[in-house]
Amino acid sequence: MQEILGKYSKEKSNLIQILNEVQEYYGYIPENAQVEISEYLSITMAQIYGVITFYSRFTLKPRGKYHIAVCLGTACYVKGSEKILDRAKEKLGIDVGETTKDGKFSLEATRCIGACGLAPVFTVNEEVYGKATVKTLDEAIDKIMENPE
Amino acid sequence: MKTLEEINKIREEKRKELDLRINTSADTREKHILVCHGTGCTSSKSTQIIENFRKIIEEKNIENVRVIQTGCFGLCAKGPIVIIRPEDVFYAMVTPNDCEEIIEKHIQNGEIVQRLLCKDIDNKTVQKLDELNFYKKQKRIALKNCGVIDPENIEEYIAFDGYKALEKVLFHMTPDEVIEEISASGLRGRGGAGFPTGRKWLFTKMAEGDQKYVVCNADEGDPGAFMDRSILEGDPHCVVEAMMIAGYSVGANKGYIYVRAEYPIAVKRFQKAIDSAREYGILGKNIWNSGFDFDLEVRLGAGAFVCGEETALLESIEGKRGQPRLKPPFPANEGLFGKPTLINNVETYANITKIILNGAKWYSSIGTEKSKGTKVFALGGNVNNTGLVEVPMGTTLREIVYDIGGGIPNGRDFKAAQTGGPSGGCIPKEHLDTPIDYESLQAIGSMMGSGGLIVMDDTKCMVNLAKFYLGFTVDESCGKCTPCRIGTKRMLEMLEKITEGNGQKGDIEKLENLAVNIKAASVCGLGQSAPNPVLSTIKYFREEYREHIDFKECKAGECKALMKLSIDPELCRGCGLCKRNCPVDAISGEVKQTHIIDQEKCIKCGTCITKCPFHAIKG
Ligand SMILES: Cc1cc2nc3c(=O)[nH]c(=O)nc-3n(C[C@H](O)[C@H](O)[C@H](O)COP(=O)(O)O)c2cc1C
Ligand code: SF4
Ligand code: SF4
Ligand code: SF4
Ligand code: FES
Ligand code: FES
């Protein structure tokens, strides 16, 4: 945390930059991080909370070890990405925004990630699966389930 | 640090060295293997392809061959793409395993690897990029360097006239002359609204203020659009240079670029461009002894569509919730931190250096009477060649969809195209010949927008499409004003009702009334334009709305609740494809006999409709 803060001046306008780094590092914005940011930038906790909840990229709950994001941008939607999302929900038994009990998977519906040329698209952590089908998703999830680590 | 003389020397030497990139008869013994490293191709393993090529070249000790990463070539659907220069041979859908063969056959023996060549829509095998129908009607201005240079290498940018426009402006033009040139070019904002760029620069220059800012809007919120991303990934320096020219013209010495955090590669390449420009003495204090200072900073968005709206974007750069401000005052007078601020879109900036170097006259000779130059579109949806295309203004939708895009896949028919994303509207078949420019699109109830162009075939339901966009706006409304927050939710509920078979007479009129109210009473462009997709689908597909409401019928077969699937015995040839693909075994039938669907079992997933090669299954 200190390392992240150290990169920025105490200017209030750095809040979103810092939150982005924290989100990237922890996969969510932990409460104690909020406290530290609040002290560092002299911004109230309420203001920080307001900013976190405004932007969909910031989350207050930890994500699963494997974060699956299905694109519901227009290009992907038109190519049937909703079916892939439905399948992911069914297979993992969770809804969008949730994490499986064992903390392994979490699911998100994203807007365009800019790979529309390959629509429909979903991602597992950093890896992008283009021209995806329900089958691609099944295989991706099965692969993770079979190899626990 | 490099002096201007040193930069000019780099340009001269590098330009000679890189001639083979654009000249098929270049005088050279070198070969360059260009590998697309844009987002599309990267996600299908182009990084691995680059590594493999380099490894093989080293192992085999081959001389005079270089492997270069470039930005997007445009034809992302056929990626990963590899191009060999100078001969300009173009390989599509390359996998990391193909590298060895390309090296052995092509590089070492001068033989073309036939199996990796691309087939055009007319089934002709194509060797060169320019021979593809996809490229024939395109004109690349904003994307000029994309796919030609290594975006992370400033010297390659310099080689192709990079930072030459900056030199011209700093030493041979006054700020007023620059603004005059931009005005005369007829360039209009590419972020959506189409405001004349020169006029915006002039307002910002005239505004009083000790400190001014230049901002680049790279939030690219329209889902299904990736023009700005590709420019930042493929040619980041052209935006750096343009922002500097803008800074010089309006009297700003500090710039910010606001990029979506969902675009990590673009962020990284742009940051790298800033770093190299500083290192070469192009960004910083007293640039080339001209007395002009300029520096740039990257700011990340965090996933809020409304932050693409210029005043919300400024709030967000200031570290706050991105809620739009009331206008006026306009950013030109009171923008970032209350100071006069110029905001332009990425693609708008990408045109600037070319206008400065080639002149306003040249630029304004391209396009239509009121819309000059070119426009980049992200072509997506039900079209064969999905990807990035840049065409002169005035090109018709038909040319884009059929000549460039190669038409609709699976033998389906064109139904409509959507431009302008959630703020825009649909364009039906009868307007396929509309020339694409700001005025014509507006006249038919759509808008240019930022460049997303989604094509839909006849399996797409327009009521469902309107619902999709409304769902988006409801999610993204910032909640500041009631008409937008509550009104759009109301509209969404009504559309849900209709698509679920609970629509009532009068619903269409109610939707229209609500739409007019929301448009009139919302504070920012998001609310003001949110009803557009509904209005335009009603305008062109009123009958389809009626069918949903009066007959509880969705002919396109997308609204599941209304679907009753049946197989047309006249068309069914009994191939069994539907049966094999049905997830719940609802289809029965013997080979070569008409198949039938068990309505009880059918979960209306729609799979069989898309699978049937004879279009025998109808919703
Ligand atoms: C809801 C909303 C979203 C917008 N999103 C973007 C965007 O993603 N990118 C963009 O350049 N402009 C966007 N705009 C337009 C900007 O407000 C602004 O007009 C533009 O950045 C000005 O640059 P230009 O004159 O070069 O087009 C959006 C506008 C609205 C109302
Ligand atoms: S119109 Fe919608 S997005 Fe715009 S300020 Fe009002 S509530 Fe926010
Ligand atoms: S896929 Fe079409 S043609 Fe083949 S059995 Fe099914 S309905 Fe008949
Ligand atoms: S719609 Fe789906 S469930 Fe129904 S028959 Fe077709 S494939 Fe089977
Ligand atoms: S719409 Fe899915 S990646 Fe763009
Ligand atoms: S990303 Fe490679 S061609 Fe577009």
Interface of A with B (CB under 8 A): 11-17, 19-20, 23, 50-51, 54-58, 72-80, 83, 110-119, 121, 127-130
- Same domain? B536 vs B569: no
Per the CB < 8 Å rule, is B39 touching A83? no
CATH number of B450's domain: 3.10.20.600
- Same domain? B348 vs B241: yes
Q: How far apart are CA B251 and CA B202, in angstroms?
A: 10
- Position B608, amino acid: C
Per the CB < 8 Å rule, is B225 touching A57? no
Q: Which residue of A has its CA nearest to B80?
A: A118
User: What is the predicted pLDDT for the residue at A140?
Assistant: 94
Q: For residue B388, list its beta bridge partners.
A: B378
- pLDDT tens digits along B87-102: 999 999 999 999 999 9
Domain count, chain B: 5
| Mean pLDDT on B506-513 | 97
Burial class from Cβ neighbours inside 10 Å (0-12, 13-18, 19+) for residue B45 reads middle
Per the CB < 8 Å rule, is A114 touching B300? no
- Same domain? B289 vs B179: yes
- Same domain? B70 vs B106: yes
- Same domain? A19 vs A83: no
- Same domain? B59 vs B168: no
User: What is the predicted pLDDT for the residue at A149?
Assistant: 58
Is B212 within a domain?
A: yes
Q: Which atom in ligand 4 lies closest to the alpha carbon of residue B563?
A: 1
Structure tokens, A103: 């903390």
- Same domain? A21 vs A81: no
At B243, is the secondary structure helix, strand, or coil? Answer: helix
For the stretch B339-364, what's the b/e string if a residue is b when 16 or more beta carbons lie within 10 angstroms of its beta carbon? bbbbbbbbbbbbbbbbbbeeebeebb
- pLDDT tens digits along A20-70: 999 999 989 999 999 999 999 999 999 999 999 999 999 998 989 999 999
Residues of chain A with C-beta less than 8 angstroms from the C-beta of B322: 54-55
Domain count, chain A: 2
Per the CB < 8 Å rule, is B223 touching A73? yes
- Same domain? A70 vs A142: yes
Q: How far apart are CA A106 and CA A89, in angstroms?
A: 10
Is B527 within a domain?
A: yes
User: What is the predicted pLDDT for the residue at A70?
Assistant: 96
At B299, is the secondary structure helix, strand, or coil? Answer: strand
Structure tokens, B478: 């910032």
User: What is the predicted pLDDT for the residue at B602?
Assistant: 86
| Ligand at shortest distance from the CA of B582 | 4
- pLDDT tens digits along B302-345: 989 999 999 999 999 999 999 999 999 999 999 999 999 999 99
Cα-to-centroid distance, B500 and ligand 5 (Å): 26
Q: Which residue of B has its CA nearest to A72?
A: B223
Is B304 within a domain?
A: yes
Q: Which of B36, B43, B44 to mutate to test the interface with A (most CBs of A within 10 A)?
A: B43
Q: How far apart are CA B8 and CA B163, in angstroms?
A: 9
Higher pLDDT, B224 or A149: B224
Cα-to-centroid distance, B577 and ligand 4 (Å): 12
Q: Considering only A106-110, B129-133, B198-202, B513-517, which range has the smallest mean pLDDT? A: B129-133
Higher pLDDT, B43 or B164: B164
- pLDDT tens digits along B161-220: 999 999 999 999 999 999 999 999 999 999 988 999 999 999 999 999 999 999 999 999
Q: Which strands sit side by side in the sheet containing B31-36, from one edge to the other?
A: B65-70, B31-36, B82-85, B89-91
Cα-to-centroid distance, B482 and ligand 1 (Å): 22
Per the CB < 8 Å rule, is A75 touching B318? no
Per the CB < 8 Å rule, is B460 touching A51? no
Per the CB < 8 Å rule, is B40 touching A130? yes
| Ligand at shortest distance from the CA of A111 | 5
Answer yes or no: are the C-beta atoms of B340 and B333 closer than 8 Å.
yes
Answer yes or no: are the C-beta atoms of B296 and B11 closer than 8 Å.
no
List the domain range (segments joined by +) for residue A74.
66-146
| ipTM summary value | 0.93
CA distances from B601 to B434, B563, B605, B610 (A): 45, 13, 11, 19
User: How far is the alpha carbon of B95 from chain A, nearest alpha carbon, in Å?
Assistant: 14
| Residue at a domain's end among B339, B364, B389 | B364
Axis-axis angle for helices B164-172, B4-17 (nearest 10): 150
Residues of chain A with C-beta less than 8 angstroms from the C-beta of B299: 16-17
User: What is the predicted pLDDT for the residue at B536?
Assistant: 97
- pLDDT tens digits along B27-40: 889 999 999 999 88
- Same domain? B66 vs B80: yes
Higher pLDDT, B565 or B87: B87
Closest listed residue to residue B217, CA positions, set B265, B258, B270, B263? B258
CATH number of B188's domain: 3.40.50.11540
Supply the Cα-derived Rg of chain B in whole angstroms.
Answer: 26
Residue B87: phi, psi to the nearest 5? -70, -10
Axis-axis angle for helices B488-499, B532-550 (nearest 10): 30
B322 contacts: CB under 8 Å, gap ≥ 6: A54, A55, B304, B306, B307, B312, B313, B315, B316, B478
- pLDDT tens digits along B483-495: 999 999 999 999 9
User: What is the predicted pLDDT for the residue at A112?
Assistant: 87
Q: Tell me, letter by letter, the H, E, C secondary structure of A50-82.
A: HHHHHCCCCCCCCCCCEEEEEECCHHHHHCCHH
Residues of chain B with C-beta less than 8 angstroms from the C-beta of A114: 39, 220, 226, 229, 262-263, 266
Residue that the structure tokens 């191709």 belong to: B41
| Mean pLDDT on B47-66 | 96
At B291, is the secondary structure helix, strand, or coil? Answer: coil
Answer yes or no: are the C-beta atoms of B572 and B581 closer than 8 Å.
no
Per the CB < 8 Å rule, is B40 touching A118? yes
User: How far is the alpha carbon of B10 from chain A, nearest alpha carbon, in Å?
Assistant: 34
**Residue B563 pLDDT exceeds 80:** no
Among A20, A80, A118, the residue with its CB nearest the CB of B300 is A20
| Ligand 4 pocket residue status of B599, Cβ below 6 Å | no
- Same domain? A45 vs A85: no
- Same domain? A50 vs A70: no
DSSP B284: B
For the stretch B281-294, what's the b/e string if a residue is b when 16 or more beta carbons lie within 10 angstroms of its beta carbon? bbbeeebbeeebeb
CA dihedral B239, B35, A139, B584 (to 10 degrees): 80
| Residue at a domain's end among B423, B457, B491 | B457
- Same domain? A106 vs A82: yes
Structure tokens, B416: 């409509």
| Mean pLDDT on B43-51 | 93
Supply the Cα-derived Rg of chain A in whole angstroms.
Answer: 17
- Same domain? A84 vs A25: no
| Residue at a domain's end among A13, A28, A54 | A54
| Residue at a domain's end among B407, B422, B457 | B457
Q: How far apart are CA B73 and CA B233, in angstroms?
A: 11
Q: Tell me, letter by letter, the H, E, C secondary structure of chain A.
A: CHHHHHCCCCCHHHHHHHHHHHHHHHCCCCHHHHHHHHHHHCCCHHHHHHHHHHCCCCCCCCCCCEEEEEECCHHHHHCCHHHHHHHHHHHHCCCCCCECCCCCEEEEEECCCCCHHHCCCEEECCEEECCCCHHHHHHHHHHHHHCCC
Structure tokens, A143: 């692969």
- Same domain? A109 vs A89: yes
Is B147 within a domain?
A: no
Q: How far is CA B591 from the centre of its chain?
A: 45
- Same domain? B198 vs B272: yes
Is B145 within a domain?
A: no
- pLDDT tens digits along B409-438: 999 999 999 999 999 999 999 999 999 999
Q: How far apart are CA B350 and CA B360, in angstroms?
A: 15
CATH number of A130's domain: 3.40.30.10
- Same domain? B188 vs B321: yes
User: What is the predicted pLDDT for the residue at B618?
Assistant: 80
Q: How far apart are CA B302 and CA A54, in angstroms?
A: 9
Among A11, A55, A116, the residue with its CB nearest the CB of B304 is A55
Closest listed residue to residue B8, CA positions, set B159, B149, B154? B159
Per the CB < 8 Å rule, is B386 touching A111? no
- Same domain? A129 vs A78: yes
- Same domain? B174 vs B219: yes
User: How far is the alpha carbon of A82 from chain B, nearest alpha carbon, in Å?
Assistant: 11
Q: How far apart are CA B461 and CA B572, in angstroms?
A: 23
Q: Which residue of B has its CA nearest to A73?
A: B223
Q: How far apart are CA A110 and CA A69, in angstroms?
A: 6
Answer yes or no: are the C-beta atoms of B387 and B234 closer than 8 Å.
no
- pLDDT tens digits along B101-136: 999 999 999 999 999 999 887 888 889 888 889 999
- Same domain? B542 vs B582: no
Is B534 within a domain?
A: yes
- Same domain? B344 vs B489: no
Is A125 within a domain?
A: yes
Q: For residue A148, what pLDDT band results from cuts at 50, 70 and 90?
A: low
| Mean pLDDT on B223-239 | 95
Q: Which of A51, A55, A74, A137 to mutate to test the interface with B (most CBs of B within 10 A)?
A: A74
Structure tokens, B30: 């070198």
Per the CB < 8 Å rule, is A12 touching B42? no
DSSP B122: T
Among A11, A17, A128, the residue with its CB nearest the CB of B43 is A128
Residue that the structure tokens 């932990």 belong to: A30
Answer yes or no: are the C-beta atoms of B99 and B64 closer than 8 Å.
no
Question: In chain A, what is the straight-line distance between the N-terminal and C-terminal CA atoms, in Å?
Answer: 27
Answer yes or no: are the C-beta atoms of B616 and B571 closer than 8 Å.
yes
Is A59 within a domain?
A: no
CA distances from B195 to B80, B241, B275, B345, B368 (A): 36, 21, 31, 11, 16
Structure tokens, A81: 């990405």
- pLDDT tens digits along B242-277: 999 999 999 999 999 999 988 999 999 999 999 999
Burial class from Cβ neighbours inside 10 Å (0-12, 13-18, 19+) for residue A25 reads middle
CATH number of B485's domain: 1.20.1440.230
Q: For residue B31, list its beta bridge partners.
A: B65
List the domain range (segments joined by +) for residue B611.
563-618
Is B207 within a domain?
A: yes
Is A60 within a domain?
A: no
**Residue B568 pLDDT exceeds 70:** yes
A135 contacts: CB under 8 Å, gap ≥ 6: none
| Ligand at shortest distance from the CA of B45 | 6
- Position A139, amino acid: E
- Same domain? A43 vs A81: no
User: What is the predicted pLDDT for the residue at B619?
Assistant: 65
CA distances from B409 to B388, B398, B401 (A): 18, 15, 11
Q: Name the residue at shortest CA distance from atom 1 of ligand 2.
A: B527
- Same domain? A44 vs A96: no
- Same domain? B217 vs B321: yes
Q: For residue A113, what pLDDT band results from cuts at 50, 70 and 90?
A: confident
Is B557 within a domain?
A: no
| Mean pLDDT on B143-155 | 97
- Same domain? A76 vs A139: yes
| Ligand 5 pocket residue status of A51, Cβ below 6 Å | no
Q: How far apart are CA B213 and CA B332, in angstroms?
A: 9
